[in-house]
Amino acid sequence: MEDSLKLKKATYHLWTFTISKLISSFGAQVYSFAISFYILQATGSATSFAANLICNILPRTIAAPFAGYIVDKYPRKIIAITSQIATTLAIAGLLIVSFTSGLSLVAIYITSCILSLTSMFSGVAFTSSITGLVDETRIQKAMSLNQMSISFAAIASPAVGGLLYGAVSMPVFLIMYISASILAVVLESTMNFKLYANRKEVVEGEQKESMLESMKAGVSYLKLQPILVTIIWVSLLINFLFGAFEVGYSFILIEKMKMASQHFGLTQGAFAVGMLLLSIFFTVRKEVKFPLLLSKRAIIGMGIIMGAVAVPLLIKLSYNTVFGFYLLIMFCLGALVIIVNTPMQVMLQKQIDDDYKGRVFSILETMSMALMPLGMVLYGFLYDIFPAQWILLLSASLFIGVTLILARPSVVRKAHPELGEDKVVKGKASTVL
């Protein structure tokens, strides 16, 4: 295919991928908002809410290594589309249950497990295919546009969910998700996942690796990438500790602060606005020179934000002040998430060989999420027993401490040898941007 035609096709992929993500993310987040509110209002228990979070995490953590093998062995387009179809069928099944016997926690938990698996397969397939969909010079733009689409959906979906919750029945939320998922399938089917792919061709008669051998090869490849090992350890521990926020934020605002659903939805929207603005920024700027250093600073900022969530529990504030405070908190957190993720994703896309991307990304996901189910159980239990503010403050302190130890200056210098020792210690912003 001529270069000009490939560039046109890559441009088409950029926008089709963005629109597809926008549509499917909108449906998923409206559904997630409604289900979270439904569980908390029906049970009033942080443990029940945490159980649903576990159902969103545990299945994908267990299945991720197998997903990596499948994504590297079979056509990634087929995997992505099949996963989206399975999502549609799962929500359709929950819709049928709601009409026949009414929603129950068991039905919601089972659906969450299925959606966890389908989103994981779809996510690994798409993440592994970025360098096949677009040219190398636009990888950061592709990653940023992906985040932008998610952010747009995150801005609109909590607001829509907050306005609709209580005004319409739960089946309406499910139908919205089904419709969005079907549109995403149609768009994804028009994309060429092999446009810029650089995968090894299978030679006829060549002995094929078994699943176990393939997975071992992925681990061996990962061991040769010290920066990836560092990222895994940081992700493993901070994601465990971030469970204090994941469980605590909704529990505090809904149960402790008695915040209205509309206002709660707007705070979620503020998170998305922060993501959106930083995503736009990364679409127009050059690539970050020292991504690990920048991510370290942003993670520390996330730890500070997590601790700040406890402030209204320590200081008596008016309802409006609390609402405004959490708007600001969530906006800053959304911005920091993009500062952590986008530069690192671009670096990983360029450093990991195409033939290993599925396995490496799945290992990264498995390890980064391995302790999250334990964190959800632990924090769900703790929030039902101990004061929320002390749980958040202690967890935030550990969060920052872990980051400072694992991503200490000597580790950052190994990842970025060209970064002078004095610059790592002093942390000049000009060295990052």
C-alpha of 382 from chain center: 25
Locate all alpha helices (DSSP H) within 74-205, ordered by sequence. Answer: 76-100, 105-133, 139-164, 170-188
pLDDT at 429 (0 to 100): 40
User: Hey, what domains does the chain have and what are their CATH numbers?
Assistant: 3-193+211-423 (1.20.1250.20)
pLDDT at 432 (0 to 100): 41
Whole-angstrom distance, CA of residue 47 vs CA of residue 40: 10
Tokens found for residue 277: 């603005």
Locate all alpha helices (DSSP H) within 191-284, ordered by sequence. Answer: 211-223, 226-241, 243-251, 261-284
**For residue 198, what is the DSSP state?**
-
pLDDT at 209 (0 to 100): 67
Closest to 45 measured CA to CA, from 246, 310, 254, 245: 254
pLDDT at 167 (0 to 100): 67
Whole-angstrom distance, CA of residue 329 vs CA of residue 245: 12
* pTM of this prediction exceeds 0.95: no
Q: What are phi and psi of 97, to 5 degrees?
A: -60, -40
pLDDT at 74 (0 to 100): 84
pLDDT at 203 (0 to 100): 43
Instruction: Tell me the three state secondary structure of residue 117.
Output: helix
Closest to 293 measured CA to CA, from 248, 339, 250, 326: 339
Other Cβ atoms closer than 10 A to 65: 19
236-267 pLDDT per residue, tens: 888 888 888 988 888 888 888 888 878 887 88
Across the 433 residues of the chain, what is the mean pLDDT of every consecutive 10-residue run? 75 82 76 77 74 79 81 86 91 88 84 86 83 79 77 68 69 81 87 75 54 78 80 84 87 84 82 85 82 90 93 90 93 92 80 80 73 78 88 94 89 76 47 41
Whole-angstrom distance, CA of residue 25 vs CA of residue 32: 10
- DSSP assignment string, 269-289: HHHHHHHHHHHHHHHHSPPPS
Angle in degrees, CA 275, 392, 227, rounded to 5 = 55
Other Cβ atoms closer than 10 A to 414: 13
